[in-house]
Amino acid sequence: MHVLIAEDDARLRDVLARGLRSAGYTVDVAARGDEALDLLLLNRYAAAVVDWRMPVMDGIDVVAAIRSRDLSTPVLMLTARDTPSDRIRGLDAGCDDYLVKPFDFQEMLARLRALMRRPSATLGVRLRAGALSIDPAAQSASVNGSTLALTPTEYAIVELLVRRSPSVVRREIIANHAWTDSLDPIASNSIDVHITRLRAKLVGAGVRLEPVRSVGYRLVERGS
């Protein structure tokens, strides 16, 4: 499952991202409200955890913006606000649930699971590019019906590139999306090594992974 964490507190954001990745989720992160909105409009998330107070754009305005565009991504709002009027305002803006800081991480996980069990959160749609098919719910990829043997990191990279195709994905976004440990994939050549391995596994998929010098990579269909 692919989720978004939008939180401006770097320490809390890192704790939540690491915890969710350890629980088996694919995680994107945002530190500002406008960044969160861009990601929500670009990607299909199983759920989003959004802080009320963020730079540039408050979380509640982010939620109102995606609802105005008919996006049904389930949203769990994090906030220090705990008055009835605040809760009503958050729910009226389109939040699906509400968690007051400080909170227990296991409770947050339980609330996310409950949100993602709702019919609107079902990820039945496959992502496709050429003969490559991505199943976000199963975290698997296949070419012409044959399942690819991908490591978790390889899967995270190829899913991200397909979601963003044909746009260029910056190296730092690939690193934040696909790596959960202390390895610095930007300073090392880890991203490039994984891209090379993916190219070998994607033979016959009708796509190519193109480097964009000093920026990142993009996935495009052959012939385009």
- DSSP secondary structure string for all residues of 190-220: HHHHHHHHHHHHTTTSSEEEEEETTTEEEEE
Q: Is the pLDDT of residue 105 over 70?
A: yes
Q: Which residues contact 215 (CB under 8 A, 6 or more apart)?
A: 168, 170, 171
The pLDDT of residue 218: 94
Give the pLDDT confidence of 143-170 residue by residue, as tens digits.
998 999 999 889 989 988 987 888 888 8
Give the pLDDT confidence of 51-84 residue by residue, as tens digits.
988 999 999 999 999 888 878 889 999 887 666 6
On the 0-12 / 13-18 / 19+ scale of CB atoms within 10 A, 23 is middle
> Considering all CA atoms of the chain, what is the largest pairwise distance in Å, rounded to the nearest integer?
57
Long-range contacts of 182-191 (CB under 8 A, 24+ apart): 191/157, 191/217
pLDDT band at residue 93 under the 50/70/90 scheme: confident
End-to-end CA distance of the chain: 30
pTM of the model: 0.57
